[in-house]
Amino acid sequence: MRIRYWRLNSTEVLKANYPVEKVNHWDIKSTIDEYQQFGVFWFKYGTPYDKEPIHGICFYYNEIPQQIVQDLIDFLQSKLGGKVLYKQTRVFLQGSKEFADSQSIGKLATELSLKFNVTIEITIEFEKVTEKEKVENSFDLPSNKALPIVGPD
């Protein structure tokens, strides 16, 4: 089964202990105000860009100044590398360093929060979760923030 943990904070993610190979997707949503947001995210199987998936870290943005977009590109590229590709309000760092461990996600979320003075909210989606892992809360994430995802794994 697939499970999405949502509305997590950095501390909850940093305390987590899960099998990295089961992470399917993560997203760090950063809110400046009601309309201004950006989110840094990663998909295990790549993020769609036209018809081909792009592997690497990506971000989207809504209603934020172009200077913040450029600062975000510079910040992420200095940490993770990658070739910058644009698609409307999404930026792809093709070939950038990829990660799914709790320490890297939690640390990046904290750094984004401090550097850009934003509140953050983290979502992590897992695949191939067993019933036993779900019942025993094996991932050390808050069970009240878990949402089962209907459909095939």
Q: How far apart are CA 63 and CA 61, in angstroms?
A: 7
Q: Which residues on neighbouring strands pair with residue 28, listed in sequence order?
A: 40, 122
pLDDT tens-digit series, residues 28-41? 999 999 899 999 99
pLDDT tens-digit series, residues 106-140? 999 999 999 999 999 999 999 999 989 988 889 99
- pTM here is 0.95
Farthest-apart Cα atoms in the chain, separation: 47
pLDDT tens-digit series, residues 77-115? 999 999 999 999 999 999 999 999 999 999 999 999 999
